[in-house]
Amino acid sequence: MLVEVAEYSILAVIATVAIWKASSWLEQSSKRLSAYYGLPAIVQGAIVVAIGSSFPELASVVISTWRHGTFDLGVSAIVGSAIFNLLVIPALSGIFSDGVKADRSVVYKEAQFYMIAVSVLIITFAMAVIYYPVADMRLGGTVTWQLALIPIAFYGVYVFTQYQDTQDHDAEDAPEDINPAREWLMLLASLILIAVAVEGLVEAALGFGELFNTPNFIWGLTVIAAGTSLPDTLVSVRAARESNGVTSLANVFGSNVFDLLVAVPAGVLIAGSADIDFAVTVPMMGFLTLATVVVFGFLRTELTLTKNESWGLLGVYGLFLVWMVFETAGVTNLVPGA
């Protein structure tokens, strides 16, 4: 067993390193393309960089559902990634940059639309339980492709609001040293490498689940979530160190909006339909909501995330990891089936 644990651990580490390397390419190409097309900082962080750095989460849902038939693993990876993004990324950004400065567009638009995204996904799952119940599950429901279109439609609204920002933005002249064709090729190469690396993370998560006889979603919440969130971490921390807190925080909220409203429905659309256990989903989404409230409260105070508040966010994430250990060990039973 120890040999197998070592093998899966090495696989997870190699996959994570590959994602880290690809994410550096992705960050460079996304940043240069945003400069070339003259996008404002808020749009650059919330759309261009966020979608690119969220590709690992999208890949995790697609690969888990399409190749392995485990939609719950993909969903848990998304929720775990959203929790990681909200708590760890702003915390590291604040610690390594001596605090993160926000503005009202981040707090009153990005953060609040993200809260709407959480609500939309919960309502979508609830509608699945109400209208398409699964007989052998106490609180199970089938998310049909029609229901999956609901969150995607809301993401369309989000993109529209970002588009309106570009209408009022006076873009600077595009740098002359940027070759857009080359940057698009680099972007594509990074996405391909990330997809291959995510397959490794999924294999490792499934392997850990079999070895320790634990539900797959536990490893999705931890191993896959942390590994796929690495691109967001690198992008946001680097932006914060360059005194660009708006892009850093907008990337966090924009990534989570994309994950919840696009990545999760993508798995459903690929499979045609997917069963969801609402009893497992609600506790996870509940903690995600709690994390959202904490982050929003910190940002609302003087529109700044201080170093002390950053350490507080890391503490909250530590509590989440302890909770997952307790669920796996059977100490607590807030998540049925853990």
332: left (phi over 0), alpha (psi -120 to 50) or beta: beta
Tokens of 179: 């070759």
Q: What is the pLDDT of residue 110?
A: 78
Q: What is the pLDDT of residues 37-96, one digit of tens each?
A: 777 666 665 666 667 777 888 888 888 877 777 777 788 888 888 899 899 989 998 888
- Report how far residue 259's alpha carbon sits from residue 62's, in angstroms, rounded to the nearest whole number: 12
* Residue 294 contacts residue 68 (beta carbons within 8 Å): no
Q: Give me the phi and psi of 103, to 5 degrees please.
A: -145, 180
Identify whether the C-beta of residue 291 lies closer than 8 Å to the C-beta of residue 118.
no
Centre a 10 Å sphere on the Cβ of residue 192 and count the other Cβ atoms it contains. Answer: 11
According to CATH, the superfamily of the domain at 2-170+180-329 is: NCX, central ion-binding region (1.20.1420.30)
Structure-token match 């105070």, residue found: 301
- In whole angstroms, give the CA distance from residue 125 to residue 272: 15
CA–CA gap between residue 48 and residue 175 (Å, rounded): 18
Instruction: Name the token pair of 217.
Output: 């979603």
Q: Which residues in the chain show pLDDT less than 70?
A: 40-50, 165-176, 231-232, 337-338
Q: Exposed, middle or buried: residue 330 (CB in 10 Å: 0-12, 13-18, 19+)?
A: exposed
Full-model pTM: 0.82
Cβ-contact 144, 128 below 8 angstroms: yes
Closest residue by Cα to residue 163 from 50, 247, 246, 42: 42
Alpha carbon distances (Å) from 40 to 150, 157, 244, 250, 252: 28, 18, 12, 12, 16
CA atoms of 71 and 66, how far apart (whole Å) = 9
**Is there a contact between 93 and 301 (Cβ–Cβ < 8 Å)?**
no
- What phi and psi, each to the nearest 5 degrees, are found at residue 244? -115, 70
Helices in the chain by DSSP H: which ranges? 2-36, 41-43, 50-53, 55-66, 71-96, 104-105, 111-131, 145-167, 180-212, 216-219, 225-228, 230-241, 245-258, 264-271, 278-300, 307-329
Query: What is d(CA 185, CA 336) in angstroms, rounded to the nearest whole number?
Result: 45
Cβ pair 20, 226 in contact under 8 A:
no
* Positive or negative: CA dihedral 285, 287, 289, 292: negative
Q: Record the tokens describing residue 195, joined without a space.
A: 């997809």
| 148/141 Cα distance (integer angstroms) | 13
